[in-house]
């Protein structure tokens, strides 16, 4: 009998442990009330529709995103500075790599494109088809699995993630990736004053996380927001593409600044980001000066400058939602910072490094159209995306020169702030006319 009792005690203990483990798992997976409140507010005005290429490009109809799931980290933020980003579903491994290079809170908006064409009679239902529902459900599971993987590693970021989808009527329409919508939504779930939008294919230097963990660091950056400073993070890329380049990028994010200096150069390991294809985007950062600097230094805004930067929620403009697909979307935001009287200061000891990847389909389309115009003086059709981007850039430029610029926002997004009391109010920014010479 004693051995039998010991057996039952063992079974009971095992059952208790299993129950406890199940309870812990359920607790970690329990929805966050604030996250669910935010989801309900974002979806409050959603009505099913299909995004059409010509309607969007020619008539400026807005994107129509549905928030399918939102998962917030159960771990407390390591410090009060949040990186926010956006990505397509297939780049979840890239998001994990970004998260592994950073130890603080990270807000991500993940996107799934759902193509659900109309039939020959122009019909196709006013809801997701069974096949589309299965696709969305599979995406939810994939995002959850990735989030679980991040939560299991206390050494990396604290990830809050949203999964959005948009329904398109064709494969062409699917190219209208709502990049700035997603940036605005990812920003919306940031719960720190200090933030930075960093694209998902960038690694953050280990020195940035180490700095933010130091007492007083976040407060010093927040104080700079009173001066409307944008603290620019210099960006690099490995000199090799592909798998070797990705290994090199990881290494570049982990070395010291002195080590980075030794490996910097066209025939070495790291160079200025986009130096070979678009030097104007980052040359104003002044990389030779950066390697010699031990203190922040100010640089002058120049046309097409597109750095990543640190600032505060209450002074950061919104990303213009008219920019979809690929091109100009970040350039306009940086031009807006200049319009809103920001100054640009270069961080002396933290940086970013690009994780190399193949070009997206829409980037190839825009690049080909740009080549036709710039090399062959082709006249593009009215619904060409590159033509649309140049028109949008011209419109924004004229608004900044006149002193009347305001980025286009989605009324659905802005209505969320009226429904969710704990969200900080959108900033009301006033700019100054930009001299025409800045854009030449």
Cα distance between residue 8 and residue 238, in whole Å: 61
Q: Give the CATH architecture of domain 31-426.
A: Alpha-Beta Complex (3.90)
Taking the alpha carbons at both ends of the chain, their separation in whole angstroms is 93
| Of the candidates 326, 333, 277, the residue with the CA atom closest to the CA atom of residue 305 | 333
In the chain, where the domains are located: 31-426
Report pLDDT for 6: 40
Record the pTM. 0.91
Percentage above 90 pLDDT, the chain: 88
Report pLDDT for 15: 37
Q: How confident is the model at residue 440 (pLDDT cuts 50, 70, 90)?
A: confident
Q: pLDDT tens digit string along 406-429?
A: 999 999 999 999 999 999 999 999
Mean pLDDT over 56-71 rounds to 97
Cα distance between residue 67 and residue 165, in whole Å: 7
Please state, in angstroms and as integers, the Cα–Cα distance from residue 88 to each residue in 84, 181, 183, 329, 360, following that order.
14, 13, 12, 16, 11
8 Å CB contact between 208 and 221: no
* 334 Cβ neighbours under 8 A, 6+ residues apart: 301, 305, 306, 307
Q: How confident is the model at residue 20 (pLDDT cuts 50, 70, 90)?
A: very low
Please state, in angstroms and as integers, the Cα–Cα distance from residue 278 to each residue in 239, 274, 275, following that order.
15, 5, 6
Q: How confident is the model at residue 123 (pLDDT cuts 50, 70, 90)?
A: confident
Q: With 70 as the cut, is the pLDDT of residue 5 above it?
A: no
How much of the chain is in helix, strand and coil states, percent to nearest 5?
45, 15, 40
Q: With 50 as the cut, is the pLDDT of residue 1 above it?
A: no
Report pLDDT for 366: 92
Q: How confident is the model at residue 30 (pLDDT cuts 50, 70, 90)?
A: confident
Mean pLDDT over 318-347 rounds to 96
Report pLDDT for 31: 83
């Amino acid at each position: 009998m004693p051995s039998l009792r010991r057996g039952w005690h063992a079974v009971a203990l095992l059952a208790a442990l299993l129950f406890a483990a199940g309870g812990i798992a359920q607790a970690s997976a329990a929805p966050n009330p604030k996250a669910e409140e935010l989801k309900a507010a974002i979806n409050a005005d959603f009505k099913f529709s299909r995004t059409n290429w010509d309607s969007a490009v020619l008539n400026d109809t807005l994107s129509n995103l549905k928030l399918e799931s939102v998962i917030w980290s159960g771990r407390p933020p390591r410090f009060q500075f949040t990186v926010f980003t956006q990505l397509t579903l297939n780049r979840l491994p890239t998001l994990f790599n970004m998260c592994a290079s950073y130890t603080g809170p990270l807000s991500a908006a993940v996107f799934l494109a759902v193509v659900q064409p109309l039939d020959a009679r122009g019909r196709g239902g006013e809801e997701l088809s069974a096949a589309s529902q299965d696709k969305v459900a599979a995406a939810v599971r994939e995002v959850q699995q990735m989030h679980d993987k991040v939560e299991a590693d206390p050494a990396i970021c604290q990830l809050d993630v949203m999964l959005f989808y948009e329904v398109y009527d064709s494969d062409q329409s699917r190219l209208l990736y709502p990049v700035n919508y997603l940036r605005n939504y990812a920003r919306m779930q940031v719960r720190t004053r200090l933030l930075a939008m960093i694209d998902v294919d960038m690694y953050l230097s280990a020195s940035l996380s180490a700095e933010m963990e130091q007492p007083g660091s976040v407060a010093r950056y927040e104080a700079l927001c009173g001066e409307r400073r944008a603290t620019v993070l210099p960006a690099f890329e490995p000199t090799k593409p592909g798998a070797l380049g990705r290994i090199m990028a990881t290494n570049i994010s982990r070395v010291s600044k002195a080590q980075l200096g030794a490996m910097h150069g066209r025939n070495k390991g790291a160079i200025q980001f986009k130096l070979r294809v678009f030097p104007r985007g980052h040359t104003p950062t002044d990389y030779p000066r950066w390697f010699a600097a031990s203190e922040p230094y100010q640089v002058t805004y120049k046309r097409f400058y597109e750095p990543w930067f640190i600032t505060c929620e209450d002074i950061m403009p919104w990303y213009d939602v008219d920019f979809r697909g690929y091109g100009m979307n970040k350039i306009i935001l940086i031009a807006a910072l200049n319009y809103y009287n920001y100054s640009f200061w270069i961080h002396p000891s933290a940086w970013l490094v690009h994780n190399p990847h193949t070009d997206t389909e829409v980037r190839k389309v825009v690049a080909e159209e740009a080549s036709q115009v710039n090399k062959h003086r082709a006249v593009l059709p009215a619904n060409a995306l590159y033509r649309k981007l140049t028109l949008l850039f011209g419109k924004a430029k004229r608004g900044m020169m006149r002193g009347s610029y305001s980025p286009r926002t989605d009324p659905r997004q802005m209505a969320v702030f009226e429904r969710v009391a704990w969200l900080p109010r959108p900033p009301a920014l006033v700019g100054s006319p930009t001299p025409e010479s800045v854009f030449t």
